[in-house]
């Protein structure tokens, strides 16, 4: 059986569970860093298959969940105060609370907010509506950042003047470094998000593993992938041998995707980024370079982000740091439910609270 078939093999999954049970001798906390992994872990009851010594923690793996409230407020204000504006956004953002209300409420108040399935849809909207201003709400990690960069690149090439990007784009290694350096960070091993690594490559992860003496398993999204990532992580922990293990090599080359990074580097540069629940972190986001500033919504409309800290009792920040789980939140399943979310993690399809509410 080759690598492309084995990840769907239930027997291999059972063998991995047995192997994990066999090698685990002590308590270990393993953190995943992708909403897709979090949902697969909850959906397939992976934590329940593991020995009781292993605890699975859920880090900052959902870009919608870490998009700050004031960026949502900015999108809402632009759409409501300017009838010429069309906001293009992924559907996941529609019900994420801003500081007053969400995009869905703004739409019901008359704002022209359109759901897209790819950032390139916004380019099409701009070309079809030359007299309107199209704002692409650009959300994501390094996985979607290159596609957003491609939109700017194509728009520039085609001389499209009525499109700009309101960016909320995040870089994963800087936030991991922030977490690893926290004095109360007590996670032992990390499952890195395979799709992010397929773009970035592994060099940052080698540095993090070496500097913080933490095993990092680059992990996929199928149940067997996740079990294999956990197995390689526990094996390293038990042997006190800390490095990066590529447990998703069918998709992740060591050097990542140089073509995607080329377009990323052409359009964006690292910038300070506000993470909902974690605050402002240096060089943890992407901003549009000066050369392409006409595509930057904040510059085009002379807007300054306010970096609001919204105190709504949401403990998503504590969950991302590995200090709490959704069930520790006093609002979980009570004041905060998918139909009436207090925090973004309850409403996004990659949100950790949404996963626990749906599957646990
Ligand atoms: S249950 Fe709701 S309020 Fe509590 S941490 Fe999750 S999203 Fe935030």
> Domains in the chain and their CATH numbers?
3-61+188-246 (3.40.50.11750)
- Supply the residue whose CA is at minimum distance from atom 7 of ligand 1: 343
Per-residue confidence of the chain (360 residues) as pLDDT tens digits?
Answer: 566 677 888 899 999 999 999 999 999 999 999 999 999 999 999 999 999 999 999 999 999 999 999 999 999 999 999 999 999 999 999 999 999 899 999 999 999 999 999 999 999 999 999 999 999 999 999 999 999 999 999 999 999 999 999 999 999 999 999 999 999 999 999 999 999 999 999 999 999 999 999 999 999 999 999 999 999 999 999 999 999 999 999 999 999 999 999 999 999 999 999 999 999 999 999 999 999 999 999 999 998 766 555 557 899 999 999 999 999 999 999 999 999 999 999 998 889 999 999 997
**C-alpha atoms less than 13 angstroms from C-alpha of 89 in its C-beta half-sphere:** 28
Specify the ligand 1 atom closest to the Cα of 332: 1
Instruction: Tell me how far apart the alpha carbons of residues 102 and 79 are, in angstroms, rounded to a whole number.
Output: 12
Instruction: Tell me how far apart the alpha carbons of residues 346 and 360 are, in angstroms, rounded to a whole number.
Output: 13
| Dist. CA 321 → ligand 1 center (Å) | 14
The CB of 331 under 6 Å from ligand 1? The reply is: yes
| 162, 130 Cβ separation under 8 angstroms | yes
The CB of 65 under 6 Å from ligand 1? The reply is: no
The CB of 62 under 6 Å from ligand 1? The reply is: no
Task: Look up residue 175 and give its two tokens.
Answer: 């936030």
In terms of C-beta density within 10 A (0-12 exposed, 13-18 middle, 19 or more buried), how is residue 99 classed?
Answer: middle
The CB of 40 under 6 Å from ligand 1? The reply is: no
For residue range 188-213, what is the model confidence (pLDDT) as tens digits? 999 999 999 999 999 999 999 999 99
- Supply the residue whose CA is at minimum distance from atom 8 of ligand 1: 314
- Supply the residue whose CA is at minimum distance from atom 1 of ligand 1: 332
| Dist. CA 314 → ligand 1 center (Å) | 5
The CB of 329 under 6 Å from ligand 1? The reply is: yes
| Dist. CA 102 → ligand 1 center (Å) | 16
Amino acid 298: pLDDT: 96
Beta-sheet strand order (sheet of 189-193): 54-58, 28-32, 189-193, 216-219, 244-246
- Please state, in angstroms and as integers, the Cα–Cα distance from residue 335 to each residue in 170, 341, 343, following that order: 29, 8, 10
The CB of 332 under 6 Å from ligand 1? The reply is: yes
| Dist. CA 300 → ligand 1 center (Å) | 34
| Dist. CA 347 → ligand 1 center (Å) | 9
Specify the ligand 1 atom closest to the Cα of 352: 6
- In the chain, count of helices (H) and strands (E)? 17, 11
pTM of the model: 0.93
For residue range 59-94, what is the model confidence (pLDDT) as tens digits? 999 999 999 999 999 999 999 999 999 999 999 999
Q: Where are the beta strands (DSSP E) in the chain?
A: 28-32, 54-58, 85-90, 112-116, 133-140, 163-169, 189-193, 216-219, 244-246, 268-275, 279-288
| Dist. CA 341 → ligand 1 center (Å) | 8
The CB of 346 under 6 Å from ligand 1? The reply is: yes
The CB of 326 under 6 Å from ligand 1? The reply is: yes
Could you say which DSSP state residue 182 is in? S
Amino acid 176: pLDDT: 97
Specify the ligand 1 atom closest to the Cα of 324: 5
The CB of 345 under 6 Å from ligand 1? The reply is: yes
Instruction: Tell me how far apart the alpha carbons of residues 215 and 208 are, in angstroms, rounded to a whole number.
Output: 9
Instruction: Tell me how far apart the alpha carbons of residues 176 and 2 are, in angstroms, rounded to a whole number.
Output: 32
| Dist. CA 279 → ligand 1 center (Å) | 17
Question: Other CB atoms closer than 10 Å to residue 160's CB: what's the count?
Answer: 17
Beta-sheet strand order (sheet of 163-169): 112-116, 85-90, 133-140, 163-169
The CB of 316 under 6 Å from ligand 1? The reply is: yes
The CB of 96 under 6 Å from ligand 1? The reply is: no
Amino acid 151: pLDDT: 98
Amino acid 238: pLDDT: 98
Task: Look up residue 124 and give its two tokens.
Answer: 């099409």
| Dist. CA 345 → ligand 1 center (Å) | 6
- Please state, in angstroms and as integers, the Cα–Cα distance from residue 14 to each residue in 27, 218, 223, 281, 307, following that order: 21, 20, 11, 41, 47
Task: Look up residue 108 and give its two tokens.
Answer: 């019901």
Amino acid 226: pLDDT: 97
């Amino acid at each position: 059986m080759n690598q492309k078939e084995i990840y769907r093999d239930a027997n291999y999954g059972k063998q991995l569970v047995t192997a994990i049970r066999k090698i685990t001798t002590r308590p270990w906390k393993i953190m995943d860093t992708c909403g897709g992994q979090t949902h697969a872990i909850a959906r397939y009851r992976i934590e329940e298959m593991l020995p009781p010594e292993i605890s699975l923690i859920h880090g900052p793996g959902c870009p919608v969940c870490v998009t700050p409230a004031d960026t949502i407020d900015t999108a809402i204000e632009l759409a409501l105060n300017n009838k010429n504006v069309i906001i293009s956004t992924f559907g996941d953002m529609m019900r994420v609370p801003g500081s007053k209300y969400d995009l869905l409420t703004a739409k019901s108040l008359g704002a022209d907010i359109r759901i897209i399935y790819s950032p390139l849809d916004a380019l099409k909207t701009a070309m079809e509506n030359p007299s309107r201003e199209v704002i692409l709400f650009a959300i994501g990690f390094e996985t979607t950042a290159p596609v957003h960069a491609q939109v700017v690149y194509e728009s520039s090439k085609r001389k499209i003047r009525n499109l700009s990007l309101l960016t909320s784009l995040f870089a994963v290694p800087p936030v991991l470094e922030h977490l690893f350096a926290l004095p109360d960070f007590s996670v032992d091993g990390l499952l890195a998000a395979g799709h992010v690594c397929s773009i970035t490559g592994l060099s940052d992860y080698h540095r993090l593993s070496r500097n913080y003496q933490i095993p990092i398993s680059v992990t996929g999204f199928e149940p067997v992938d996740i079990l294999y990532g956990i197995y390689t992580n526990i094996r390293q922990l038990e042997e006190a041998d800390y490095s990066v293990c590529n447990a998703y090599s069918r998709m992740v080359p060591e050097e990542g995707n140089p073509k995607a990074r080329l377009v990323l580097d052409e359009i964006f540069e690292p910038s300070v980024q506000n993470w909902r629940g974690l605050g402002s972190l240096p060089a943890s986001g992407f901003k549009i370079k000066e050369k392409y500033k006409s595509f930057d919504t904040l510059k085009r409309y002379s807007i300054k982000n306010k970096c609001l800290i919204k105190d709504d009792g949401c403990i998503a920040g504590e969950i991302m740091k590995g200090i709490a789980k959704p069930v520790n939140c006093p609002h979980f399943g009570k004041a905060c439910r998918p139909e009436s979310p207090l925090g973004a993690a309850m409403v996004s399809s990659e949100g950790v609270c949404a996963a626990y509410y749906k599957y646990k």
